[in-house]
Amino acid sequence: MVRCFIGFLIPENLKNKIISIQNGLKELPMSCKFVEPENLHISFSFLGEVDENRIEEMGSSLDDIVKNYEKIPCRILGLKPIPSRSYIRVLTLDVMDEHNNLREIGNVIRKEMGGDVKPPHLTLCRVRRIDDKIKVLEGIDRYNELSIDIVIDRIQLIKSELRGDGPIYKVIHESIF
């Protein structure tokens, strides 16, 4: 069995912008586990434990899905606390595209491959503890005007190996638009 998800690893040319946002969050009065720079990604579907014999079939399914789309221009937008502003467990960046192709692709993935599909997002950190909620919310609101353009030109099947110092991600299949 292999722990897998479907996503899009953030290209090197955009990582510094995302890391600078994470660095800004480090100044807030909270304790977090930040996503490592090499693991920054836009999520499509968490598949969980998958039989290794299904990997090739899943790659073919992804190839078939991307045939129906072209590269997707997107915008990474402001910070979003999950599940809500009153109870913050995760801080993400919203990812939007003009024609909602990312959501559509997520729905196709759920239908054809399963998994836990959420609206497209980029996780920055998992919150352990908040020491001053008002200051944290003010810090989050500073990113309301954030807008970063990105083009999604591939979908990746990614293996996630859990380790004590954080997960290690490895692309095991890539489907290019």
Q: What is the 3-state secondary structure (H, E, C) of 119-168?
A: EEEEEEEEEEEECCHHHHHHHHHCCCCCCEEEEECEEEEEEEECCCCCCE
Query: What integer is the mean pLDDT of 65-93?
Result: 94
CATH number at residue 37: 3.90.1140.10
What pLDDT, on the 0 to 100 scale, is given for residue 72? 96
How many folded domains does the chain comprise? 1
- Calculate the alpha carbon distances from 167 to 12, 25, 34, 87, 158 in Å: 19, 21, 12, 25, 11
- Calculate the alpha carbon distances from 140 to 21, 30, 40, 128, 135 in Å: 10, 12, 19, 16, 9
Length of the chain: 177
> Look-up: residue for tokens 């997960």?
167
Helices 101-113, 55-66: inter-axial angle, 10-degree rounding: 150
What pLDDT, on the 0 to 100 scale, is given for residue 28? 96
Q: Where are the alpha helices (DSSP H) in 31-94?
A: 55-66
Whether 173 has a pLDDT exceeding 90, the answer reads yes
Query: What integer is the mean pLDDT of 101-121?
Result: 88
Q: Could you give the CA distance from residue 44 to residue 112 in angstroms, rounded to a whole number? A: 13
Q: Could you give the CA distance from residue 53 to residue 129 in angstroms, rounded to a whole number? A: 40
Residues labelled catalytic: 41, 121
Whether 60 has a pLDDT exceeding 90, the answer reads yes
Least confident of 27-36, 40-49, 71-80, 111-120: 111-120
pLDDT range class, residue 150, cuts 50, 70, 90:
very high
pTM: 0.89
Containing structural domain, residue 81: 2-176
pLDDT above 90: percentage of residues in the chain: 78
Write down the mean pLDDT value for the chain.
93
pLDDT range class, residue 148, cuts 50, 70, 90:
very high
